[in-house]
Amino acid sequence: MATVLIVDDEESIRTLVEYNFSRAGFEVETVGDGKTAYEFIRSGTPSFDLVVLDLMLPGMDGMEVCRRLRQEGVDTPIILLTARDEEVDLVLGLELGADDYVTKPFSPRELVARARAVLRRSESPESDTKLAPSASKVLKAGNIVLDVSRHEVRIGGQLMEFTPKEFDLLQYFMENPEHVLSRDQLLDRVWGYSSATDTRIVDVHVSHLREKIEQDSKNPSYIRTVRGIGYKFSEGAPAT
């Protein structure tokens, strides 16, 4: 039975989320502020399989909790709860190592489904993201070289840092060059979601990929937007 920590300063939200996770078979603990959550998770007693973390918390906010935990090597999966007007915070939260996000107001059922998907990925990421067949491949496109077994990406010979999900997304793009890939398809194949109501997480990661692999992220050569559908990766991008 997985154990989840719910961190939110609104008691009504904690109660609602706790009820739905308990009904779904989870062990649930709740706290109302970031500092307590940080100390709780850091202590390792009890050990949590997942943290549902609100961004806007009194004292230490969710962003700082996430940043400190990842800096200290705590890799417990984290799902952010965020209001729709916190786009900048959302992007930063994903950069700091959060695994997913759900926007308020949210469906408790969707949150539980997202939690299960995140837990499946953390237990067996290769099978869930369906990337195992390429486990020994070195993929090349233009000046990009992606080594799956080493989990490394070089751009023009320079080793670059990518978050795990950025790496998975780039790998999937490079395995499917010149194919138009919808956001829903990317969510299914890279994130392991069979359905989702919010596809912004794809756009956020694509934006960060472009900043790292494109000469001009505003006029991309590799990852091109297909209006109304999704994205297409062009392996013939210039190698300069």
Residue 82 pLDDT > 50, yes or no?
yes
Please state the pTM of the whole predicted model: 0.66
The mean-pLDDT minimum among 73-87, 102-116, 128-142, 205-219 falls in: 128-142
List pLDDT tens digits, range 105-154.
888 988 998 898 888 876 654 444 444 444 458 999 999 999 998 889 99
Residue 99 pLDDT > 50, yes or no?
yes
CA–CA distance, 3 with 99 (Å, rounded to integer): 17
Predicted confidence at residue 210, as pLDDT, reads 94
CA–CA distance, 103 with 114 (Å, rounded to integer): 12
Predicted confidence at residue 239, as pLDDT, reads 47
187 HSE (CA, 13 A, CB side): 19
In which band, very low, low, confident or very high, does the pLDDT at 182 lie, cut at 50, 70 and 90? very high
- 82 compared with 6, residue with greater pLDDT: 6
